[in-house]
Amino acid sequence: MQNDRRHHCSGPIYPTAFGRRSFIQAGLLGGMGLSLPDLLKIQARAGEVRPSTQALNRPEGPAKSVIQIILPGGLAHQESWDPKPEAPIEYRGPLGVVKTSIPGVVFSENLSRTAKIADKITVVRSITGHIPDHAQATYQMFTGYLPSPAIQHPSIGAIVSQNFGPRRDLPPYVGVPNVPSAGGTGYLSSKFGAFELGVNPVQKSFQVRDIALPKNITDERFTRRRTAREALEDHFREIEANPAELDTMDQFYQQAYKLISSPEAKKAFSLDGEPDSMTDLYGEYKRNGTGPVIPIGRQLMLARRLVEAGVRLVTVMYNGTDGWDNHTRIKESVGNGMPAFDHAFAGLITDLDQRGLLDSTLVMVTSEFGRSPKINETAGRDHWARVYSQVLAGGGIARGQIYGSSNATAAEPDRDPVTVENFLATVYHQLGINAEDRLLAPGGRPIDIVRDGRAVPGLIS
């Protein structure tokens, strides 16, 4: 058998979200005989206990929206946010560095545009994870928990969706193009799940699929269709006695009708009217220079349009060109995928700031773990969870800060370690959600939104 380095790990598997939930949780609480007063009687340690099926409409925090950028595979912190130019070559790696707008701070050479807006973001160089396994670490990145065979935890998107509900008739949680299974609703009702676009906005003429009526369907015909459907639903409702199923179906149809008939929504789910200057700002890169367009620029442009229009949390999945699980030839792999990200991310932060949206939009850049301190024999790096970097910006996060540090070989946290739980708790805090609150899972079991998660004061401005 050929010894191919690619196969030393099974690689990230990202099936679509909402696995494992049989649909319709409505009536679940009732079925267990828990009335709301009962629930409130259950005393939580620090926070409060809330049911898992109903929307809550909570007051918002300083961050009104979140753009969650995921670089799946385990981005090397050395080849991005935390280079070690002084380390011996086998630790330092093949790439050079670039000075940032924060004096004395450098990023890896492919982040030259982001370096210029470093004064607007916070880089956490002391994230400490648990397990260098793609599936488990991804699950933890989205939920704050390690996977358990016994229960599925909700992702941050589902929790935001449950806490705040839709804004201006737009779905609260959107995946561009989708969210991994870790981004599902866990023990929460499936109605809090992500609206997944299914495809990336690659063309400028992009329009989210299925949101516009087919060309030959006039308003008159659409009305006729809806009228006919209502007649059929009325009949079924009368003969069948399972309102929960019908109500959930109906809820999604009403949402779909609203989206289809809302010009604002249609506009938000497209790149319509974005001037060329915006393309310049977010960048337009092609695979190998002439191949297909690398989607990240338009993904982030669309994400900005969505939060501007009212979406609360947009998950953007960006695989680079070679993925970020760079066991081999890290120089080339990072070199192929990173410049497009650098351009798009710097563009997004600049754009949000210019529009006055940065203070109310929290942008996160996360990868499930980092990579090993030493370059391996195939010129790549392997999985490493003991220390790595993640980025926060906007939404009340401090501007222009490097928080914490790794040691000289980027192998261990050196100063101010931040756990994955505390990182998530900080994001929740900015959203106005107390991560110590408990949600009621099936079985009447209250579970912390993030267990042992505390907001990190040093990250907040």
Instruction: Considering only residues 245 through 274, tell me which ones interact with other proteins, judged by CB under 8 A.
Output: 245-246, 248-249, 252-253, 255-257, 259-260
**Minimum distance from residue 203 beta carbon to other proteins (Å):** 17
- The set of long-range contacts for 211-214, using a CB threshold of 8 Å and a minimum separation of 24, is 211/259, 211/260, 211/265, 211/266, 211/269, 212/260, 212/266, 213/260
23 binds other proteins (CB under 8 A): yes
- Specify the residue, 22 or 290, whose C-beta has the smaller distance to other proteins: 22
222 burial (CB, 10 Å; 0-12 / 13-18 / 19+) is middle
224 binds other proteins (CB under 8 A): yes
In the set 19, 85, 88, 96, which binds other proteins (CB under 8 A)? 19
99 binds other proteins (CB under 8 A): no
**Minimum distance from residue 147 beta carbon to other proteins (Å):** 10
- 79: tokens are 């080849």
- CA dist 431 → 58, 191, 335, 352 (Å): 10, 20, 34, 17
The DSSP line for 46-73 is SS-EE-SSS---PPP-S--EEEEEE-TT
User: By rule CB under 8 A, what string of x and - marks binding of each residue 126-165 to other proteins?
Assistant: ----------------------xxxx--------------
C-alpha 322: how far from its chain's center?
20
User: By rule CB under 8 A, what string of x and - marks binding of each residue 54-73 to other proteins?
Assistant: --------------------
- Specify the residue, 235 or 415, whose C-beta has the smaller distance to other proteins: 235
Closest CA to 400 of 97, 82, 96, 114: 114
**Minimum distance from residue 244 beta carbon to other proteins (Å):** 8
225 binds other proteins (CB under 8 A): yes
- Specify the residue, 18 or 107, whose C-beta has the smaller distance to other proteins: 18
Q: Which of residues 166-185 bind other proteins (CB under 8 A)?
A: 171, 181
The total of other beta-carbon atoms located within 10 Å of residue 3's CB is 7
242 binds other proteins (CB under 8 A): yes
- 220: tokens are 């008159």
Angle CA 459–79–133, to nearest 5: 80
**Minimum distance from residue 409 beta carbon to other proteins (Å):** 25
Q: Which of residues 70-89 bind other proteins (CB under 8 A)?
A: none
- 445: tokens are 């079991």
- 344: tokens are 């798009």
Decide: helix, strand or coil at residue 347.
Answer: helix
Looking at 14-22, 332-340, 395-403, 410-418, which segment touches other proteins (CB under 8 A)? 14-22
Backbone angles phi, psi at 147, to 5 degrees: -60, 145
- Specify the residue, 89 or 232, whose C-beta has the smaller distance to other proteins: 232
- Specify the residue, 7 or 168, whose C-beta has the smaller distance to other proteins: 7
- Specify the residue, 85 or 198, whose C-beta has the smaller distance to other proteins: 198
Closest CA to 358 of 299, 297, 400: 400
192 in Cβ contact with 154 (< 8 Å) = yes
13 binds other proteins (CB under 8 A): yes
**Minimum distance from residue 412 beta carbon to other proteins (Å):** 18
Decide: helix, strand or coil at residue 345.
Answer: helix
- Specify the residue, 185 or 430, whose C-beta has the smaller distance to other proteins: 185
Query: What is the C-alpha separation between 234 and 255, in angstroms, rounded?
Result: 19
- Specify the residue, 149 or 273, whose C-beta has the smaller distance to other proteins: 149
- 8: tokens are 């030393």
- Specify the residue, 116 or 237, whose C-beta has the smaller distance to other proteins: 237
Angle CA 255–447–187, to nearest 5: 35
Q: Which of residues 195-214 bind other proteins (CB under 8 A)?
A: 195-196, 198, 209-214
Looking at 16-24, 62-70, 329-337, 354-362, which segment touches other proteins (CB under 8 A)? 16-24
Which residues does residue 207 pair with via DSSP β-bridges, in sequence order? 270
- CA dist 461 → 125, 363, 369, 430 (Å): 18, 15, 26, 10
Q: Which of residues 424-453 bind other proteins (CB under 8 A)?
A: 441-447, 451
- Specify the residue, 29 or 307, whose C-beta has the smaller distance to other proteins: 29
Backbone angles phi, psi at 447, to 5 degrees: -130, 130
2 binds other proteins (CB under 8 A): yes
In the set 5, 21, 329, 399, which binds other proteins (CB under 8 A)? 21
**Minimum distance from residue 263 beta carbon to other proteins (Å):** 15
Radius of gyration of the chain (CA): 23
- Specify the residue, 118 or 440, whose C-beta has the smaller distance to other proteins: 440
Decide: helix, strand or coil at residue 401.
Answer: strand
